[in-house]
Chains A and B, each alone.
Chain A
Amino acid sequence: MFELVNVEKRYMGVHVLKGVDFRIDDGEIVGLVGENGAGKSTLMKVIYGAVQHDAGTLLVDGAPVSFRSPRDAMKRGVGMVYQEQSLIPNLTVMENIFLGFEKPFVRFGAINWKKMAEAARRQLAKVRLDIDPGTITARLTFAQRQLVELAKVLALEERVEGKLVILLDEPTSVLSRDEIELLFSVVRALRHRASFIFVSHRLDEIVALSDRIYVLKDGVVVDVMEAKGADISAIQKKMVGRDINGEYYREDRQAPYDPDRVLLELDHVEIAGQGNDISLTLHAGEVLALVGVEGSGREPILRTIFGMLRPDRGTLRIRGEPVHAFSPAHSVAHGVGYVPRERKVEGIASGMNVFENMTLPQMRNYSHAGVLDIRAERDLAREWIGKLSIKVPSEYADCGNLSGGNQQKVVLAKWRSSGSEIILLDHPTRGLDIGAKEDVYAMIRDMSAHGVGIILVADTLEEAIGLSHTIAVIKDGEIKKWFSCQPKAKPSLYDLIQYMV
C-alpha cells in the first residue's frame, strides 16, 4: 500500500498542492483526473521522487519514506512510465530496459549481452511483447515503445521488496484504438504484480480502466469515487467546478456561411506522394472539418494548403487565384494562417514575448524599411490580450511560460490580427483543459462571424461535429463522404465512423 498524507507543495510562492491525501492499495488501478494546472503533474512528481514535497508524509506499507530522486523512489518500487517517452532511441531495447542497472550483467567490466538479452526477454514477456531485445528502439512503433517502457518499470520487481506502484502519465495520447485496448489488457493482467496510477485527459478511458478515481482541482482532492457506474459529466463538473452543458460547442452561435464568397479551392489536387485526388471548397465563414483516423491523410492536406508540401497535380486557388509558388511565406502573404498540432515546435516561440510572437508573420505591417515600430506592436498585443482575455502579466511575458490555453490564444491572435482569412487548425484544443477549450470554441465562432474560413482537424469527433458547417470524411487519403452539419441536424458519431474505417 502506498499513501500520501496531507502533502503540501509550493513553487516560488504558488501553492500547488494543498494538503493532498492519496492512497493506493496493492493491485489497485487508481485514476487521477484534473484540469491543466490542477496539480496533477506535481502530485505525480512527488510520488516518483522528481520533486520533494514541503510538508506531509509519504508512506509505503505504513512506514514513512522520503524520495530525494526518482532513483530513490525506484528502490522502493515506485516507477514512472513517461508521457514524453523516455527511451533512448539509438540504443537497443534491452539496453534501455536495464539502463543504469547493468550491474548484474557485468563481469570484469564487460557486459554479458546474452545474459542481458535473456533477462530482457523475460521482462518483455510480462507485457506480451514479442520482439528481439537487440532491436534498436527507434525502429519500434509508439505502442511498442510504450510497452517497452512499461517492461522497464516492471523490471524493478526483481530488485525491490514488496509490490510495485506504476504511474502511467497520458499513456494513450499517441496510441490508436487497438493499441489502447492492448495496453489496457496488459495493465489489467499485471494487477497481481503492481498497482497503477493512471492519468489521462480522456475520461472514458479513466472510467473504463480504473477502480477508483481521484479528482484534483486547484491542488485539492475534491472527490474520490468508485469508477464503476461513475458518470463522465459528473466528473467533468467536479473538475471544472461548474456545469458543462450542451452549449459546449456554441452551436447556438453557428451562423450559415456565405456560399458566394469562395476563399479556397482545391481542384483535383494530388497530395505529394499519395496518388489521391482531393477537391474541396472553403467559403467565407465556413468551418470545414476533415475527419478520419490517425494517418488517414488529413495533415498532408493542411500542409499542402499552407505551402509546406507541393502537390503532384491539380490546382489550388486562393480567392480564385491559382497558386504556383508553394511556400509558407507565400501562403502567409496571401492570408493563410496555420495553427499546428505541435504548439511548442511550430506554434509558439518560447523565449520571445507576447507581442513578438504575435507580429512574427506580419512584421511588414509593423516596420518601416526594416525598422520595427515596437510601440505599435505592443498596442496590438495589449488589444488582443484584452479581446481574448489572455492571462499574462504584461505583453512582455515570455510565451514559453504561459499555460497551454493562453499559448493557443496567442497563436490564434497572431493569425487573426495579421488579417488571415483562411485559418488551418490542426488539433487546436489538444492538451487544453475544459475551460481553455471553451475559449477556443468561442474564438472559432468569432472568426466565422467575421467571415474567416476555417479548416479544422479536430481532437475528437464530437468536436468536429459540434463546430463545423461541413464535414469531409477522409480515408486512405481520399474524401469518402461529405456531411452537412447544420445545427439541430448534425450527423451522429456512428454516421461518420462507418465511413472512416
Chain B
Amino acid sequence: MNRFLATDALRKWVPLLVLVGLCLFFTALNPNFLSLRNFARIAISSSPALMVAIGVTFVILMGSIDLSMEGTVAVCAVVFALILNALGGTIAGRGWVALPAALLVGAALGAINGIVHVKLRIPSFMASLSLGFVGIGLSLLITGGDRILIDDPPFRSLLTVRVEGFPLMAYAALACLLVAWFIQDHTTVGRNFYAVGGGEDLARASGLNVGRLRIIGFVLAGVFYALGAIFAVARLGIAETETGRNFMFMSITSVVVGGTALRGGEGGVWNTLVGVLIVNVIGNGMVVIGLADYFQDGVLGLLVIAAVYLSTDRRSLSFVK
C-alpha cells in the first residue's frame, strides 16, 4: 500500500473517500447525477440492500459468514405478502400482523441456520449456503412460482410518500440502522460479537457462551433480512421468489467494501452503510452516464475489486485466501 494511505487513522476513512470520489466522478461525467431526484433513487435502491447487509455484518463481525440471505428474503417476502393479503390486504387494518410475522419468520430461519452451524458443527459457509437454497425452494413451494401483488396504499406509502424529497422508506431504513448501531455498540450481545470475532478461544476463556452467541447472531441477521424483504416488497409492490435475487453479492460486497474485515472483529454497521452506498452509487452512476446494460454487471464487478483494493488493510492480512 502506498505511503499516503499508510496511517491507520486515514485508512479508516478510505471507504468514505471512495464514496465521495465516486460521486464526484459521476457528477463530472453527467451533472444530473448530483440531484435530489437521483439521490432519492439511490436511497430507494439502497434501503432493502442496507437491511440485508446490516444483517450479514453481525455474522461477519463474529468471523462467520451467512450466505442464506437470498432464500430468507424470498421466504419472508412471500409470507409477508400472503398474510397481508389474507388479512384484508392493508396494514392499516388487521394486515399489520404481516409485519411482525415476517420478522418472526426471518428470526426462525436465522435460528435454524445458527443451530445447524453450531450444533451440527457444519461450517457457516456451507450451512448457510445450503439453507439459502432450501429457502428459495420453500418460497417456490409456497407461491407455486407465482407473483403476489400488493396493492395497499398505506404500505406502499413507504415508497410513494416523500419527505424532503426522500421516500419514507429511506427514513425507516435509517431508523433501523440506528437500532443496529445501538445493538452493536451498546449491548452485551454486540460487544460479544467483536470478542468472538477477535478471538474465539479468548471469548471462551472469558466465560462467554460462544455457541449461544453465534445462534443469536444468525437470528439477528434473519430479522434484518426480513426487514430487507419488507422494504423490497414495498419498493416493487410484488413478492416472489425473485425478490431475494442479487442480495448475496450486493450485501457481502457492501460489507467488505465498507471496510469490515471478513476474518471478524473489525468494522461495523456504519462501515456497511458506506459500503452499501458505494455499491449502489456505482450501479446508479453507470445508468446515469448511459453505460449499456450488458456492460454494467462487468463494470460493477471490476469497480468492486478496485474499491476493496483501496479500502482494506492488506498489511494486516498475512495470507489472502
Contact = CB atoms under 8 A, between A and B. Distances in A.
Given A352-B194, A356-B191, A372-B187, A346 B201 contact: yes
Interface string A306-350: 101000000000000000000111011100001010100111111
B93 to A, nearest CB: 33
A345 B202 contact: yes
B209 A329 contact: yes
Given A345-B202, A351-B265, A329 B208 contact: yes
A338 B191 contact: no
B54 to A, nearest CB: 18
A397 interface: no
Interface stretch (A48-56, A185-193, A360-368): A360-368
A360 B208 contact: yes
Interface string B14-55: 000000000000000000000000000000000000000000
Interface residues of A, number: 30
Contacts of B201: 342, 345-346
Nearest to B183: A370
A306 B205 CA distance: 9
Contacts of A349: 194-195, 198-199, 202-203, 265
Interface in B181-232: 186-189, 191-192, 194-195, 198-199, 201-209
A346 B207 CA distance: 11
B266 interface: yes
A378 to B, nearest CB: 13
Given A338-B205, A364-B188, A371-B187, 10 more contacts: A346-B202, A347-B202, A349-B194, A349-B195, A349-B203, A351-B194, A352-B194, A360-B191, A360-B202, A363-B192
Interface of B: 186-189, 191-192, 194-195, 198-199, 201-209, 265-266
Contact of B207 (A333, A345, A371): A333
B188 A372 contact: yes
A328 B191 CA distance: 18
A374 interface: yes
Contact of B206 (A332, A351, A364): A332
B211 to A, nearest CB: 10
Given A346-B201, A349-B195, A361 B187 contact: no
Contacts of B266: 351
Nearest to A349: B198
A33 B298 CA distance: 57
B205 A340 contact: yes
Nearest to B261: A351
A360 B187 contact: no
A364 B191 CA distance: 12
A352 B268 CA distance: 13
A370 B206 contact: no
26 contacts: A328-B206, A332-B206, A340-B205, A345-B201, A345-B202, A346-B205, A347-B202, A347-B205, A349-B195, A349-B265, A350-B198, A351-B194, A351-B198, A351-B265, A351-B266, A352-B194, A356-B194, A360-B202, A360-B203, A363-B188, A363-B191, A370-B187, A371-B187, A372-B187, A372-B191, A374-B186
B198 A328 contact: no
A367 B208 CA distance: 15
Contacts of A306: 205
B199 A372 contact: no
Contact of A367 (B187, B202, B206): B187
Given A345-B201, A367-B188, A361 B206 contact: yes
A60 to B, nearest CB: 30
A242 to B, nearest CB: 35
A255 B206 CA distance: 30
Which of B192, B198, B204, B206 is most buried by chain A, counting CB atoms within 10 A of its CB? B206
A350 B203 CA distance: 12
A364 to B, nearest CB: 8
Contacts of B195: 349, 352, 356, 360
A328 B204 contact: yes
Contact of B199 (A328, A332, A345, A367): A345
Nearest to B7: A12
B51 to A, nearest CB: 21
Contacts of A347: 202, 205
A332 B202 CA distance: 13
A352 B197 CA distance: 10
Contact of A370 (B188, B203, B209): B188
Contact of B186 (A338, A346, A371): A371
A333 B206 CA distance: 10
B198 A352 contact: yes
A343 to B, nearest CB: 9
A219 to B, nearest CB: 23
A308 B207 CA distance: 10
Interface in A34-58: none
Contacts of A327: 209
Contacts of B204: 308, 328, 346
Contacts of B202: 345-349, 360
Contacts of B194: 349, 351-352, 356
A434 to B, nearest CB: 27
A329 B211 CA distance: 12
A303 B143 CA distance: 53
A372 B192 CA distance: 11
B103 to A, nearest CB: 18
Contacts of A346: 199, 201-202, 204-205
A327 B205 CA distance: 10
A328 B188 contact: no
A363 B193 CA distance: 13
Nearest to B205: A346
Contact of A331 (B192, B207, B208, B209): B207
Interface in A275-332: 306, 308, 327-329, 331-332
